[in-house]
Structure 1
Amino acid sequence: MHEYTTKTAESVWNNCLKFIQDNIQEQAFKTWFLPIKAIELTDNALYIQVPSKFFYEWLEEHYVSILKVALTKALGAEAKLLYKIRMENTTGNKQPYTEQLPSANRSPVKTQELDIPIQNKDPELKNPFVIPGIRNVKIESQLNSNYSFDNFLEGDSNRLARSAGLAVANKPGGTSFNPLLIFGGVGLGKTHLAHAIGVEIKELHPEKTILYISAEVFTQQYVDSVRKKTRHDFIYFYQLIDVLIVDDIQFLSGKSGTQDVFFHIFNYLHQNGKQVILTSDKAPVDMQDIEQRLLSRFKWGLSAEIQHPDFDTRVKIVKSILFRDGVEMPEEIIEYVAKNVKSNVRELEGAIISLIAQSSFNKREVTLDLAKHVVEKFVKNVKREISIDYIQKVVSDYFQMDIETLCSKTRKRHIVQARQLAMFFAKKYTKSSLASIGSQIGDRDHATVLHACKTIDNLLETDKQFKKYYEDINKKFSL
């Protein structure tokens, strides 16, 4: 007994840590052992504090043997290890989960004592925090391996985003692109690129823990964790991730509780050199109902826009689809399809597949006439995705001017108002950023577009004739 009285809980645990560190991988040691606090030594029982029940169960399932050896070396064959699990303060504390011990001026930490001698665990033990699609304790990435950099074709419209994605994949958490926010309209390849980055990291850095998740599923998980009172497990789980990819981050708009918990998770990951990758249908400056403190963090790294593909890129995409499907098609037909389906990559692929299907089902050769028939019908059916080019055409036709005049630098009042209307409708009917709208309509900046939208709002309230112009044009977009 005298031997034990000279020891402290901390000194015994430090001896255990030295042995454990020599026998497991460095990353595992940092993740699973450094957060543990030794808090009490009674006879041959060592009490340690762990962050959560999930943490305790992971230790008992994966490291029970090494813990037993380490503690036996430090305290003898009769040694016992007891856990105190820090429970989250449920009286409104929204701070991120920590392993901090109580001090004299803090209320005591709620603990749960588990008087369990070191023993082999039930092999059926599962992670109590279950993510849909992730059945076991092992964290699956949820990545789609069909999305890769090889089949994400580079063009002027996506070069910055693709290059930044490659840089992040080569050195996750080690570039200034953290977070990397990829934004742009529907069907332009944001999700594809996000998966491609994750797939590449998995290939180059197999030791990294990667998770792809949609903001919608993340929100549902958080709501469930609040309902089940497992919020601390939820937070700790996400602190384990090395590369977190969240798709459609704009879904957090208006959800203050989810934004709050994501803010704390983001801070922890960023401060610990972990990589965060986000996608959104709009730039941070255009996001509504997202807290300013979160938006400011989105701007810490790089916001890279994927724009509508230009003609050359669309040609490359069509050829890539045809090559993938083993189909040959004359160059003039490829160029015709690429020229007339401009809205996004998804619809371009849909048009090509429709053309191949028409040719196959009707046993007709793919001719230019067939292409015109299919594209005309296809474009009409997908008019719901209104492009900035289409908006400029409708507005310029209504005011009987060409698009060059609409986009010109002239300050003539009727032309300026037509141009402002085009910007207003582009903001209303597309998901393009203000900067993207400005660059496509007269090479203006986002401040000009913002001013145009405010001007149109004022004119609609004060000018009846102008309001009629607006209503006439607006009807054309709902046909």
Structure 2
Amino acid sequence: MSTPGALVDELRKRVAERIGANRYRTWFSETADFAIRRDDEAVDVIVGSPFVGRWIASNFMDDLVAAAGDVLGTARGVDVRIVERPNGTPRGADAPAEIAPRKRVSRRARGGSSLRGRLDDFVVGESNVIAYNAICGVANAPGDAFPLLVVHSPCGLGKTHLLHGLCRAVQQNHPTAAWRYVAGEEFTNEFIYALKSGRLDVFRDRFRSVDLLVIDDIHFLADKSSTQDEFLHTFNAINGVGKTIVLSSDRHPREIATLSEPLINRLISGIVVQIDPPDYATRREILRRLAAKRAYRIQDEVIDFIAHKVTRNVRELEGALYTLVALGGLTGQPLTVALAQQALSEHLAYCARRPGVAEIEAAVAAYFDVTTDQIRSKSRDRSVSLARAVAAYLIRKHTPLSFPEIGRAIGGKNHSTILMAVQRVERLTGEDASVAWKNGDGRRVAPIRQVLTDLERTLFPGNR
């Protein structure tokens, strides 16, 4: 027979599955206790606030009843009880004896089961060793290492793996440390939810009373001024007591469009490290470990072939390997270089012709001697406007993004602005016109066709 504690744990799990992880964290994870009554096996949900109690009763009662039925075997009654506690009294201190206290040695936004990466599994190479060592420094002394660490790179190079590995290491080696991991989108959504529901005090306590705050994809805060202000206050609160914040972004803080200047200054005051695309030796080791982990029998020459051909990021390496193995399984053929060439021909062609927005922006910015931040800005400088138009044209040509999506990607421009920019480049190309811009060496003039050809050679070096 299951113990009351086991039943309560299962009940929590079922409620979270039914209402979603974000809503569960907001309304139940740190504000509610569950108890199974001994007399009739009905369920009590015990909260410390009348507001929270009313909200739970109004919005989640059907899910609570269904979850209780799933766990206890038949339909059960559910009551929401308000037990107001004095300030400083821990949740569960005045609960009945049959309540199973939650095992909670570290305050965290995600349980260990959702943290996929481990530091021991991370393949270290020249492209990422500085970021890896910095993360290990924080893991060894959370709250006492660097006040702020920002890790940035394009997608698929291991930022999230490092952040998950950091949280796992802290969870295992420093069980009393208070830490919280959250994605930038979740931070934003929880802030908006707390603002609308009048629960900012709970939100702020959750994110500020920690030794280590880890936020993945902080660039999601771009264009969200209120969330940026809230995060800035959160940063100041944590930094003010000597604790640590670790962030990841898809670009350097200076290049995140529409971040406030005070926030940018805070971010660049810490340690900012970049992860570059993996070199050949690192790619080969990543493939070797992936194959060993899944017990794939692949010869070294096949791993060498994939490592030479797939160069941009770890996700593409994984995709290439899995494509090869899937084709081998479907056809019954051995995993040879010849099969790899067949399996990866479409994959490699797709990767080759699909540079990302960040890559196109960076190439255009370097060509015209401007910054990506200027491209995303509202500047009407002629050189910046030309660079912005060329970037929009190339993004439209080489990615599947629509005009509105391109506008959002390069600084929140509207649909018509991007459309006119693309049409401008198309018109200049049709007229075989030349364009002029200024750089550090003075004024430059070149045919627009030559400009586009130069940039596409940079973006597609294998097609020369």
Shared fold (TM-score, shorter chain, > 0.5) = yes
Match of 2:129 in 1: 159
Q: Deviations over 1:81-103 (max 9, x none)?
A: xx9xxxxxxxxxxxxxxxxxxxx
Structure 1 CA distance for aligned equivalents of residues 93 and 303 of structure 2: 64
SS in 2 for 1:304: strand
Q: Which residue of 223, 233, 245 maps to 1:264?
A: 233
Do 2:106 and 2:175's aligned partners in 1 also have CA atoms closer than 8 Å?
no
Query: Counterpart of 1:39?
Result: none
CA, structure 1 residues 297+331, in 2 after alignment: closer, same or farther (shift >3 Å)?
Answer: same
After superposition, the Cα gap between the structure-2 partners of 1:115 and 1:271, relative to the gap in structure 1 and judged at 3 Å, is: closer
**Distance in 2 between the 1:319 and 1:233 partners?**
46
Q: Which residue of 1 aligns with 2:246?
A: 277
SS at the partner of 1:207?
A: coil
1:407-463, Cα deviation, whole Å (9 max, x unpaired): xxxxxxxxxxxxxx9xx979x869xxxxxxxxxxxxxxxxxxxxxxxxx87279x98
Q: Would you say 1:305 and 2:284 are equivalent positions?
A: no
1:93 equivalent in structure 2 = none
Aligned partner of 1:468 in structure 2 is: 449
Please state whether the residue corresponding to 1:150 is helix, strand or coil. helix
Q: Which amino acid counterpart does residue 466 of structure 1 have in structure 2?
A: P
CA distance in 1, matches of 2:31, 2:183: 29
Q: Deviations 1:181-202 (Å, cap 9, x if unpaired)?
A: 1100110010010110111111
Letter in 1 for 2:299: P
Aligned residue runs from structure 1 range 363-378, under 5 A? 363-378=332-347
Q: Which amino acid aligns with 2:291?
A: L
TM-score by length of 2: 0.58
Deviations along 1:232-255, one digit per CA (max 9) or x if unpaired, are 322122122221110100111111
**1:9-59 Cα distance to aligned partner (Å, 9 max, x none):** xxxxxxxxxxxxxxxxxxxxxxxxxxxxxxxxxxxxxxxxxxxxx9xxx89
The one-letter code of the counterpart of 2:161 is: H
> Cα–Cα, structure 1 residues 313 and 347, in superposed 2: closer, same or farther, change >3 Å?
same
Equivalent pair of 1:183/1:304 in contact (CA under 8 Å): yes
Give the alignment partner of residue 149 of structure 2, picking from 175, 180, 198.
180
- The answer (yes or no) to whether the contact 2:142–2:177 under 8 Å persists in 1 is no
Q: Which residue of 1 aligns with 2:314?
A: 345
Deviation at 1:330, TM superposition (A): 1.6
Contact 1:178–1:300 at 8 Å: present in 2 too? no
Q: Secondary structure at the match of 1:270?
A: helix
- Measured in 2, the distance between the counterparts of 1:210 and 1:285 equals 27
Query: 1:165-314 counterparts in 2 under 5 A?
Result: 165-175=135-145, 177-314=146-283
| Identity within the alignment, % | 27
Q: 1:372 to 1:231 in 2, by over 3 A?
A: same
Q: List aligned pairs for 1:82-101, cutoff 5 A.
A: none
Q: State the shift of 1:342 in Å.
A: 0.4
The 3-state SS of whatever aligns with 2:120 is coil
Residues 386, 121 of structure 1: alpha-carbon distance in 2 compared, 3 angstrom cutoff = same
Deviation at 1:296, TM superposition (A): 1.4
- Give the distance between the partners of 1:457 and 1:156, measured in 2 at CA: 39
Asked if 2 retains the 8 angstrom alpha-carbon contact of 1:179 and 1:302, the reply is yes
Note closer, same or farther for the CA distance 1:385–1:203 as it changes in structure 2 (3 Å cut): farther
- Rounded to whole Å, the distance in 1 between the matches of 2:31 and 2:455 is 62
Aligned length: 309
Shift of 1:284: 1.5
- 1:344 and 1:473 mapped to 2: Cα distance? 24
Question: Does structure 1 conserve the Cα–Cα contact (< 8 Å) formed by 2:211 and 2:244?
Answer: yes
Counterpart residue type for residue 150 of structure 1: D
Q: 1:342 to 1:123 in 2, by over 3 A?
A: farther
RMSD: 4.3
1:141/1:209 contact within 8 Å kept: no
Q: Output the CA distance in 2 between the equivalents of 1:188 and 1:223.
A: 30
Length-normalised TM-score, structure 1: 0.56
Deviation at 1:227, TM superposition (A): 1.1
- Following superposition, the deviation at residue 382 of structure 1 comes to 3.1
Contact 1:284 1:295 in 2 (8 A): yes
**Compared CA separation, residues 385 and 242, structure 1 to 2 (3 A):** farther
SS at match of 1:382: helix
Q: Partner letter of residue 458 of structure 1?
A: W
Distance 1:301 1:173, change over 3 A: farther
| Alpha-carbon separation, structure 1, partners of 2:332 and 2:243 | 54
Q: CA 1:371 to 1:234, structure 2 compared with 1: closer, same or farther past 3 Å?
A: same
Aligned with 2:259: secondary structure? Answer: coil
1:172 Cα deviation after fit: 1.3
Task: Mark the CA change 1:138 to 1:151 in structure 2 (over 3 Å): closer, same or farther.
Answer: closer
* CA contact 2:106–2:171 (8 Å) conserved in 1: no
Find the partner of 2:119 among 149, 152, 163: 149
Partner of 1:8: none
| Aligned: 1:331 with 2:300 | yes
Change in CA separation of 1:229 and 1:190 when aligned onto 2, cut-off 3 Å? same
What is the Cα deviation at residue 338 of structure 1? 0.1
1:120-135 to 2 correspondences below 5 Å? 121=94
Q: Distance in 1 between matches of 2:436 and 2:96?
A: 65
Bigger CA radius of gyration: 1
- Shift in CA distance, 387/252, structure 1 to aligned 2, threshold 3 Å: closer
1:356 to 317, 321, 325: 325
Shift of 1:270: 1.1
> C-alpha offsets along residues 313-332 of structure 1, whole Å, 9 cap, x if unaligned?
00101101110011121211
Question: Cα–Cα, structure 1 residues 166 and 381, in superposed 2: closer, same or farther, change >3 Å?
Answer: same
> Where in structure 1 are there 5+ consecutive unaligned residues?
1-53, 62-82, 84-113, 127-133, 396-420, 431-455
- Structure 2: state its 5+ residue gaps: 1-25, 34-47, 49-83, 365-386, 399-434
Deviation at 1:474?
6.6
